[in-house]
Chains A and B, each alone.
Chain A
Amino acid sequence: MQVDDQIRINRETERESQQGRGRPHVATTHGQTKEQPAVKLTTAIVHAGTRRDPRTGSIPVPIYQTATFQHPALGQSTGYDYSRTKNPTREALEDALAQLEVGARGLAFASGMAAIHCVLQLLQPGDHIIVTEDLYGGTYRLFNQVLKLDHTFVDTTDLEAVRAAVRSNTKAILVETPTNPLMKVADVAAIARIAREAGALLIVDNTFLTPYFFRPLELDADIVVHSASKYLAGHNDVVAGAVVAKDPAIGERLFFYQNATGAILGPQDSFLVLRGLKTLALRMEKHQENARRIAGWLRCHPLVNRVHYPGRGGMISFEVVRHELVPQVLARVKLILFAESLGGVETLITFPFTQTHADIPVYVRERLGINDRLLRLSAGIEDAEDLIADLAQALGGGPEVPQDAQESQGPEAPHGAQAPRGVQMPSGNSGSQGRGRDYDYRREGPGGSAGLGRRGSR
């Protein structure tokens, strides 16, 4: 798109906020707004949060480090009263989130857990929820130990299992795709149909793929949640969570709980997530390119048994041939950091067996394929050859560092990310609806895990 200086994107005026949030608009210099012509998603991301400070013309939204706002007069408001309820910096981020996920309302939280906790407030005690069996342990802990919701774990890649788990009191289905750490991919559109028939909400944790690769609301999911600490912020420098609701009424209910329970994201962190979003497209392309090359190289390595990589995104897990290689790799990596979390520009490696899934009984972990030989890698945006060289020296005994490590394209995920109306996707990202071939998985394990993760992150 030619960025015309007469064009404003996503400028939240009073009038627009009544019409709908987070929708791209253009305005002429005379202040008339109209629907914006097709804008590529990458362009919209870059302009998120701009044109919000007409007084100074500042390109980025200012960091409004304020608790409260002066009222012009009694009974009047600037639209901002108290920052827990609404803060201009957080609002810029929330609008950008809604725009990226193509939803009606975006909300930013103090952490991914705080975001999911807010969404789970929509359920009542006695309601039943179906969840992906190898769900992030923190989410499991939240409804098992804090909210004590009635729940059933299913392999959400198995549609029959999902359908069979539906009960009369099933009020929600919570899907993580791809799963953590085994990268199993669910058919969100099909699960949305099951949820619709059951009268249940479909909640999708889109942390691993981000709206750049996958937009569940377009496939009829109701709510998307993110640990925005990961790819959305993307720099290993923020703890944050995000929720986007497709329906304005659900968005309003979630806003009630956000404001009432107050687990909001502060202005500095809101600014940093927004800043991270601007490079989401560039980063995700590079994360994916690196992940494909690393996955391809790992597959040829004699000390690696299996590689789990769904062909999309930047996350890989792989199984080495014997446990002794695990501490060796973690101790020897020089460039790659041994740390929890994922989705940052720096490559991270972690050991799910004790780092994120330690509280699961060993036999369950083994059954799910989360064994003492499995490592998980979050591919950063360094040069792929440097990363492969680091892994090569850490693993030892493998092929020389290839200059031409074969890229693993992997199967197309069945998510079927399609361009939203008025937004053209970058080339090469439109997925197919069908389930992809499984050639990426050497010998796929039977399922996933429900990690408890004593302290930390995904």
Chain B
Amino acid sequence: MKFGTKLLHTGYEVDPVTGAAAIPIYQVSTFDQPALDRPGPFDYARSGNPTRQALEKILAELEGPAAAAFAFSSGMAAISTVLMLFQAGDHLVVTEDCYGGTYRLLTRVFRRFNIEATFVDTSEPAAVRAALKEHPNTRALFVETVSNPFLKLTDVRAMAEIAREQGALLIVDNTFLSPYLCRPLEEGADIVVHSATKYLGGHSDLIAGTVAVKTAELAQEVYFLQNAVGAVLGPQDCFLLMRGIKTLKVRMERQCATAAALAAWLAKRPEVREVYYPGVGAMVAFRLVHPSLTGPFVERLKLPLLGVSLGAVETLVAVPARHSHASVPAEERARRGITGDLIRLSVGIEEVEDLLADLEQALRYAAAVAPATH
């Protein structure tokens, strides 16, 4: 079955009792048990909820060779839970320009438990190997398929090879590409995480995270932690996420095509110094010729919503230094070039002509009102 069909017909989206074409929202905490020696399939909704189970089965199907998938109350909850697989003294190699929340988690929450992380440019396999030499206790590579905010691609197969040689786990945050564009488990990754708030949900209307794992052993460990720590996704949000997944392909096709068009157009603009677009996905970052253009530009935009998050049907604009990477220390941001002139667009499904016209008027306005910049 092709991916786009699978999104709609995984076999888990129908209620087996009534035949309802959508799984019911099981707003329930506990389940009546048939008898003392015959436990029912569900006992307590933190441990298992039929709505969440349907979602988790669909997620596992979408990720390719996944043994199981799990839904969490946020992307950060998903990543936190995966990081709990590690012990004091373990070391991780992590994509340098990773999401600010992941950076915060590693440096301010898990470091207290003596789990160390080295941040390297994982688009350079040699840099990853060098980090391993310095840290023989490296237990995992944690990479983002497309880094944030510079949208650098990491070669999952190359990372999988390094991880295999090291005997380390390869964890891939695939939020920016979604399983429509990339399925890391097929390329040798062990664990895939998503902020499902983004493309999987796709409508700016829920907060959710997912984890998919390759092996039954990892599935058991992650399930233990999901249940023990309890950062589970509620049934309403599970339903909305399933609903969002149905249009993943049609949304992303449109978003990717529009992003490519905007990136090409932006590269020709005099107000734009540099465009970051990896040729895949629906995120575009660009640097204005001067930081003084940033405020007038984003405020003049009429269509894109100014706010954090990404991956929705509505185009969103953000200034990474103020938004997604605000939790990264200022000097670290400066070192990485995440400065006030950098803009990030999450391209939605509006008509491309409307977006182009809006960007153009805002760029012209910003260049006109900003102080002399050249």
Contact = CB atoms under 8 A, between A and B. Distances in A.
Interface of A: 65-71, 73-75, 81-84, 87, 109-114, 117, 121, 124-125, 138, 141-142, 145-146, 229, 233, 236-239, 241, 256-257, 259-269, 272, 326-327, 330-331, 337-341, 344, 348, 351, 354, 455-457
Interface of B: 27-33, 35-37, 43-49, 72-77, 80, 84, 88, 101, 104-105, 108-109, 112-114, 197, 201, 204-207, 209, 225, 227-237, 240, 294-295, 298-299, 305-309, 312, 316, 319, 322-323
A181 to B, nearest CB: 16
Contact of B27 (A146, A237, A456): A237
A337 B29 contact: no
B76 to A, nearest CB: 3
A113 B227 CA distance: 8
30 contacts: A67-B206, A68-B308, A73-B299, A83-B207, A84-B74, A110-B230, A110-B233, A114-B229, A114-B230, A114-B231, A114-B232, A117-B229, A117-B231, A125-B88, A239-B44, A241-B230, A259-B76, A263-B74, A263-B77, A263-B230, A266-B206, A266-B233, A266-B237, A268-B27, A331-B35, A339-B30, A341-B30, A455-B47, A456-B44, A456-B47
B30 A340 contact: yes
Of residues B48, B49, B113, B228, which shows the largest number of chain A Cβ atoms within 10 Å of its Cβ? Answer: B228
B205 A264 contact: no
B32 A338 contact: yes
A41 to B, nearest CB: 25
Nearest to A82: B308
Nearest to A330: B36
A265 B29 CA distance: 14
Contacts of B227: 113, 455
A279 B61 CA distance: 42
A168 B356 CA distance: 65
A265 B234 contact: yes
A260 B73 contact: no
Sort A-B residue pairs by CB-CB distance and give the 10 closest, nearest first.
Answer: A262-B76, A113-B230, A262-B74, A111-B230, A263-B231, A268-B236, A456-B44, A341-B30, A68-B309, A457-B44
B294 A65 contact: no
Given A74-B295, A81-B308, A146-B84, A114 B27 contact: no
A366 to B, nearest CB: 19
A341 B31 CA distance: 9
B40 to A, nearest CB: 9
Contacts of B35: 327, 330-331, 338
B77 A455 contact: no
Nearest to A351: B36
A341 B44 CA distance: 7
Nearest to A329: B36
A29 B322 CA distance: 37
Contact of A70 (B109, B234, B306): B306
A234 B38 CA distance: 27
Of residues B209, B231, B316, which shows the largest number of chain A Cβ atoms within 10 Å of its Cβ? Answer: B231
B231 A239 contact: no
A145 B230 contact: no
Contacts of A331: 35-36
Given A67-B206, A111-B231, A339-B31, 6 more contacts: A70-B307, A237-B28, A262-B72, A262-B77, A269-B236, A455-B44
B29 A66 contact: no
A54 to B, nearest CB: 22
A94 B186 CA distance: 42
Of residues B29, B113, B294, which shows the largest number of chain A Cβ atoms within 10 Å of its Cβ? Answer: B29
Nearest to A73: B299
B295 A75 contact: yes
A110 B73 contact: yes
B206 A65 contact: yes
Contacts of B319: 74
A67 B309 contact: yes
A70 B306 CA distance: 5
Nearest to B45: A239
Given A67-B312, A74-B322, A113-B229, A121 B73 contact: no
A206 to B, nearest CB: 18
A330 B294 CA distance: 67
A265 to B, nearest CB: 7
Contacts of A125: 88, 112-114
A75 B73 CA distance: 28
Nearest to B316: A68
Contacts of B240: 65
Contacts of A236: 28-30
Given A236-B30, A272-B27, A113 B46 contact: yes
A265 B62 CA distance: 26
Given A82-B309, A114-B230, A455-B227, A260 B105 contact: yes
Contact of B32 (A114, A138, A268, A337): A337
Nearest to A70: B305
A71 B307 contact: yes
Contact of A457 (B29, B88, B308): B29
Contacts of B230: 109-114, 117, 138, 239, 241, 263
Given A66-B205, A125-B114, A339 B43 contact: yes
A264 B44 contact: no
B109 A261 contact: yes
Given A67-B206, A74-B298, A124-B112, A260 B76 contact: yes
Contacts of B294: 74
Contacts of B305: 68, 70
A257 B307 CA distance: 22
B43 A84 contact: no
Contacts of A74: 294-295, 298-299, 306, 319, 322
Given A114-B230, A262-B76, A67 B207 contact: yes
A164 B14 CA distance: 58
Given A262-B74, A266-B206, A457 B30 contact: yes
Nearest to A78: B307
B33 A239 contact: no
A431 B180 CA distance: 60
Contacts of B205: 65-67
Of residues B207, B308, B309, B316, which shows the largest number of chain A Cβ atoms within 10 Å of its Cβ? Answer: B207
Given A262-B77, A456-B47, A110 B234 contact: yes
Contact of B295 (A69, A73, A229, A326): A73
A84 B207 contact: yes
A340 B234 contact: no
Contact of B77 (A142, A261, A326): A261
A69 B205 CA distance: 10
A241 B231 CA distance: 10
B229 A238 contact: no
Contact of A67 (B104, B204, B298): B204
Contacts of B113: 125
A340 to B, nearest CB: 5
B322 A229 contact: no
